[in-house]
C-alpha cells in the first residue's frame, strides 16, 4: 500500500508502451518509479491495439495459407472459421504478455497504482477512481504518458454492435458478413484486409482520394490493387453523412454525401486517434495542452513545466506508434538523468502496417523528398523475380529506394526505403539502418544478402541504384 505523500524519483501517468518503457528504463538506471494506470499496464498497444490486431491478421494469414494449400499438393477441403477460437487465442497471447510485463515491472520494483492520475502543481500526482483513489504521490520527475483513444464521427454513435471502433472490434466473438470501414489509414487497411480475407464483404470509405496517404504512392498503389483484386470495394473522396440502424438486429445503412448508400452489418470507424488528456493536468501547472488536446513537448520530451516530461500518443505532431513511445521514453529518462541524448528523428522512424500485403518503410517518400527540394534517384524492384517469394507463392509487392542525387548524377545518400509485400515488416531493418546511418547506395550495395531470401530484393534495388544491378536495370 502506497501512502499519500510517498516520494519517487519518477512518477509516470499511464502504463502503455510510452509509460511502461519509461518505468523500465528509469528503474534499470536505479531510479525509484511509480506508474499510475487506470486499466492494465500494457495500454492500447497490448490490450486494444497492435497486439490483438496482429493476432487476427495472423488468423487471416493462416486461413489464406490453408485455402492455398492445394498449390503445394496438400488437400484439406474448404476451411471453416471459428472466430471465437481466434478471439480466445488472442486473449491468451495478450494475457501472457501482460503477465510478463507485470512481472518485469515487479522485478524492477516499480510501484503500480490503480486509478486515474492527475498532475497537480509541485509535481504531485493525485489518484482518482480506482483502487488507489485518494492517494497522492510526488515525483522528482513526472512523465505524462496517458495515450490516446479512437476518434469518433458525429452522426455515428458507437454502440459496440453496429458501429464500432478498434476498441470494440478487437473484442468481437463473431465476424459480420458485411462491413463498411471508414478511414483507409493503418487501422482501416489492417481491418479491411483481415475482414476480407476471413470472408466478409468489405467497403473501404475514405475522405481523401487515395488510401494509405502517409505511404509512398507506389506502395499504396500495390495495396490498393491487391485489395481491389480480393473484392474490397472503395469509396474514395467520400464524406460520411450518417448511419440509420436497422429496426431489428445489428447493421443499417451508411449514407455518404454522394453516391449510393451502403447497406452493411457493421461500420468500423478508424479515422485516427485523439489524445487522452481530459483531467490529466490540474490548474496551476505550466504544462501546455494544444487546441486539439495534445500535450506540447519539445524534442527532448520536456513540457513547459520543469521536470515534467510527456511521451507517446499524448504528445502532438508525432507518429502514434508504440515503438516511437519506447524511443521517446528513453529520451526522457536520459534527459532527466542529464546524460547525452539524441532526440527521436520522426522523419526516419520505422513504420510497419500488417495488412496483406504488408507495408514497411523508413524515411522520405519520393514525393516528400521532392517537396523538400531534393533531387532524387529512385529504383523499384518487384518481388515477382525473387526466388524465395516464388517459393512462398507470394510475389505481390516491391521494394523502392529513394536516394539523393550525387554530384556525378548517380545515387548518393539513401533517404527513404519503402517496401510492400511478403514479410516486409520483418525485412525493414536493413533499410531502416541505411536511412538512419545516412548511408549511400554504394555503401549499402556492398552488403551481401543471403540467397534465396526475400531480402535480396532490397539488395538488388540498392545495387541497381549504383548503376549496375545483377537482375534489375
Ligand atoms: P490514420 O490517421 O492513419 O488514418 C485515418 C484515415 O481516416 C485517414 O486516411 C483519413 O483521411 C481518414 N478519415 C478521417 N476522417 C474521415 C471521415 N470523416 N470519413 C472518411 N475518412 C476519414 O488513423 P488510424 O488508421 O485510425 O490509426 C490511428 C493511429 O494509429 C495512426 O497514427 C496510425 O499510424 C497508428 N497505427 C499504426 C499501425 C501500424 O503502424 N501498423 C496500426 C494501427 C494504428
Residue 472 in domain: no
Q: Compute the average pLDDT of residues 452-462.
A: 98
Is there a contact between 141 and 10 (Cβ–Cβ < 8 Å)? yes
Instruction: Give the pLDDT of residue 472.
Output: 81
Looking at the structure, tell me whether residues 14 and 131 fall in a common domain. yes
Looking at the structure, tell me whether residues 417 and 459 fall in a common domain. yes
Per the structure, the complete domain to which residue 200 belongs is given by 163-271
Looking at the structure, tell me whether residues 30 and 131 fall in a common domain. yes
Per-residue pLDDT tens digits for 231-247:
999 999 999 999 999 99
C-alpha–C-alpha distance, residues 190 and 60, integer Å: 11
Instruction: Give the pLDDT of residue 301.
Output: 98
Looking at the structure, tell me whether residues 393 and 452 fall in a common domain. yes
Whose alpha carbon is nearest atom 26 of ligand 1? 272
Closest atom of ligand 1 to 208 CA is 11
136 in helix, strand or coil?
Answer: strand
User: Residues with beta carbon inside 6 Å of ligand 1?
Assistant: 153, 182-188, 190, 205-208, 213, 240, 270-273, 320-321, 351-354
471 is catalytic: no
Residue 315: name the closest of 353, 350, 341, 276 by CA.
Answer: 276
> What band does 197 get if pLDDT is binned at 50, 70 and 90?
very high
Say whether pLDDT at 1 is over 80.
no
Name every residue whose Cβ is closer than 8 Å to that of residue 59 and which is 6 or more positions away in sequence.
81, 83, 86, 89, 194, 198
Looking at the structure, tell me whether residues 13 and 146 fall in a common domain. yes
Looking at the structure, tell me whether residues 319 and 296 fall in a common domain. yes
Looking at the structure, tell me whether residues 143 and 167 fall in a common domain. no
Residue 196: name the closest of 176, 212, 169 by CA.
Answer: 176
Q: Compute the average pLDDT of residues 158-178.
A: 95
Burial of 249 (0-12, 13-18, 19+ CB in 10 A): exposed
Closest atom of ligand 1 to 188 CA is 25
Per-residue pLDDT tens digits for 119-157:
999 999 999 999 999 999 999 999 999 999 999 999 899
Residue 473 in domain: no
**CATH number of 59's domain:** 3.50.50.60
Mean pLDDT of the chain, nearest integer: 97
C-alpha–C-alpha distance, residues 233 and 231, integer Å: 6
Per-residue DSSP letter, 315: B
Q: Compute the average pLDDT of residues 384-400.
A: 97
The single residue of 323, 356, 418, 451 carrying the catalytic annotation is 451
Name every residue whose Cβ is closer than 8 Å to that of residue 268 and which is 6 or more positions away in sequence.
164, 165, 166, 169, 179, 180, 181, 182, 188, 191
Per-residue pLDDT tens digits for 411-442:
999 999 999 999 999 999 999 999 999 999 99
Looking at the structure, tell me whether residues 219 and 364 fall in a common domain. no
Tell me the three cell numbers of residue 386: 525473387
Beta bridge pairs of residue 362:
417
Query: For the CA atoms of 90, 93, 94, 100, what is the dihedral angle to 10 degrees?
Result: 180
Looking at the structure, tell me whether residues 404 and 445 fall in a common domain. yes
Is there a contact between 403 and 465 (Cβ–Cβ < 8 Å)? yes
Percent of the chain surpassing pLDDT 70: 100
Report the 10 Å Cβ neighbour count for 44. 27
Question: SS3 letters for 412-455?
Answer: EEEEEEEEEECCHHHCHHHHHHHHHCCCEHHHHHCCCCCCCCCC
pTM for this prediction: 0.97
Looking at the structure, tell me whether residues 18 and 142 fall in a common domain. yes
Is there a contact between 10 and 36 (Cβ–Cβ < 8 Å)? no
Instruction: Give the pLDDT of residue 355.
Output: 98
Per-residue pLDDT tens digits for 321-375:
999 999 999 999 999 999 999 999 999 999 999 999 999 999 999 999 999 999 9
Whose alpha carbon is nearest atom 30 of ligand 1? 320
Is there a contact between 67 and 79 (Cβ–Cβ < 8 Å)? yes
Pocket test for ligand 1, best of 151, 181, 185 (most atoms within 8 A of CB): 185
Say whether pLDDT at 13 is over 90.
yes
Instruction: Give the pLDDT of residue 4.
Output: 87
Instruction: Give the pLDDT of residue 230.
Output: 97
Looking at the structure, tell me whether residues 11 and 126 fall in a common domain. yes
Beta bridge pairs of residue 417:
362, 401
Report the 10 Å Cβ neighbour count for 299. 15
Instruction: Give the pLDDT of residue 2.
Output: 79
Whose alpha carbon is nearest atom 4 of ligand 1? 185
Pocket test for ligand 1, best of 147, 187, 319 (most atoms within 8 A of CB): 187
Residue 2 in domain: no
> What band does 208 get if pLDDT is binned at 50, 70 and 90?
very high
**Residue pointed to by grid coordinates 541504384:** 465
Residue 1 in domain: no
Looking at the structure, tell me whether residues 145 and 284 fall in a common domain. yes
**Parallel/antiparallel/unpaired status of strands 136-144 and 7-13:** parallel
Whose alpha carbon is nearest atom 19 of ligand 1? 207
Name every residue whose Cβ is closer than 8 Å to that of residue 91 and which is 6 or more positions away in sequence.
none
Residue 402 in domain: yes
Instruction: Give the pLDDT of residue 200.
Output: 98
- Domain termination residue (choose one: 208, 239, 271): 271
Instruction: Give the pLDDT of residue 83.
Output: 96
**CATH number of 447's domain:** 3.30.390.30
- Domain termination residue (choose one: 326, 346, 366): 346
Residue 351 in domain: no
The domain tally of the chain equals: 3
Per-residue pLDDT tens digits for 100-113:
999 999 999 999 99
C-alpha–C-alpha distance, residues 225 and 227, integer Å: 5
- Domain termination residue (choose one: 309, 326, 346): 346
Residue 19 in domain: yes
Instruction: Give the pLDDT of residue 302.
Output: 98
Amino acid at each position: 500500500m502506497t501512502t499519500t505523500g510517498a516520494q519517487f524519483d519518477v512518477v509516470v501517468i499511464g502504463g502503455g508502451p510510452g509509460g511502461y518503457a519509461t518505468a523500465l528504463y528509469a528503474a534499470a538506471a536505479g531510479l525509484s518509479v511509480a506508474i499510475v494506470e487506470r486499466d492494465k499496464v500494457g495500454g492500447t498497444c497490448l490490450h486494444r491495439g497492435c497486439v490483438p490486431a496482429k493476432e487476427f491478421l495472423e488468423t487471416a494469414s493462416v486461413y489464406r495459407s490453408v485455402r492455398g494449400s492445394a498449390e503445394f499438393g496438400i488437400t484439406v477441403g474448404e476451411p471453416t472459421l471459428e472466430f471465437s477460437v481466434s478471439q480466445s487465442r488472442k486473449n491468451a497471447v495478450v494475457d501472457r504478455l501482460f503477465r510478463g510485463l507485470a512481472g518485469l515491472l515487479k522485478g524492477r520494483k516499480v510501484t503500480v497504482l490503480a486509478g486515474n492520475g492527475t498532475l497537480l502543481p509541485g509535481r504531485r500526482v493525485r489518484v482518482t477512481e480506482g483502487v488507489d483513489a485518494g492517494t497522492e504521490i510526488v515525483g522528482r520527475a513526472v512523465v505524462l504518458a496517458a495515450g490516446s483513444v479512437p476518434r469518433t464521427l458525429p452522426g455515428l454513435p458507437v454502440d459496440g454492435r453496429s458501429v464500432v471502433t478498434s476498441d470494440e472490434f478487437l473484442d468481437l466473438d463473431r465476424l459480420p458478413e458485411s462491413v463498411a470501414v471508414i478511414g483507409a489509414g493503418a487501422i482501416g487497411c489492417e481491418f479491411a484486409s483481415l475482414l476480407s480475407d476471413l470472408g466478409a464483404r468489405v467497403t473501404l470509405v475514405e475522405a481523401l482520394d487515395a488510401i494509405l496517404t502517409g505511404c509512398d504512392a507506389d506502395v499504396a498503389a500495390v495495396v490498393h490493387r491487391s485489395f481491389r483484386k480480393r473484392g474490397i470495394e472503395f469509396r474514395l473522396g467520400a464524406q460520411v453523412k450518417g448511419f440509420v440502424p436497422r429496426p431489428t438486429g445489428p447493421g443499417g445503412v451508411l449514407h455518404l454525401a454522394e453516391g449510393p448508400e451502403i447497406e452493411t452489418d457493421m461500420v468500423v470507424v478508424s479515422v485516427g486517434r485523439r489524445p487522452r488528456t481530459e483531467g490529466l493536468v490540474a490548474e496551476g501547472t505550466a504544462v501546455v495542452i494544444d487546441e486539439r488536446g495534445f500535450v506540447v513537448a519539445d524534442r527532448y520530451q520536456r513540457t513547459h513545466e520543469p521536470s515534467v516530461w510527456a511521451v507517446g500518443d499524448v504528445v502532438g505532431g508525432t507518429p502514434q506508434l508504440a515503438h516511437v513511445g519506447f524511443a521517446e521514453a528513453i529520451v526522457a529518462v536520459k534527459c532527466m538523468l542529464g546524460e547525452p541524448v539524441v532526440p527521436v528523428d520522426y522523419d526516419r522512424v520505422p513504420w510497419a502496417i500488417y495488412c496483406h500485403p504488408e507495408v514497411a518503410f523508413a524515411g522520405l517518400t519520393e514525393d516528400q523528398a521532392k517537396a523538400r527540394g531534393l533531387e532524387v534517384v529512385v529504383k523499384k524492384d518487384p518481388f515477382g523475380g525473387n526466388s524465395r517469394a516464388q517459393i512462398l507463392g507470394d510475389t505481390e509487392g516491391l521494394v523502392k529506394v529513394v536516394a539523393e542525387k550525387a554530384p556525378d548524377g548517380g545515387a548518393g545518400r539513401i533517404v527513404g526505403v519503402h517496401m510492400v509485400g511478403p514479410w516486409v515488416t520483418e525485412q525493414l531493418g536493413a533499410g531502416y539502418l541505411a536511412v538512419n546511418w545516412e548511408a549511400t547506395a554504394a555503401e549499402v550495395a556492398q552488403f551481401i544478402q543471403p540467397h534465396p531470401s526475400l531480402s535480396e530484393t532490397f539488395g538488388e534495388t540498392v545495387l541497381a541504384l549504383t548503376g549496375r544491378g545483377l537482375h534489375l536495370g
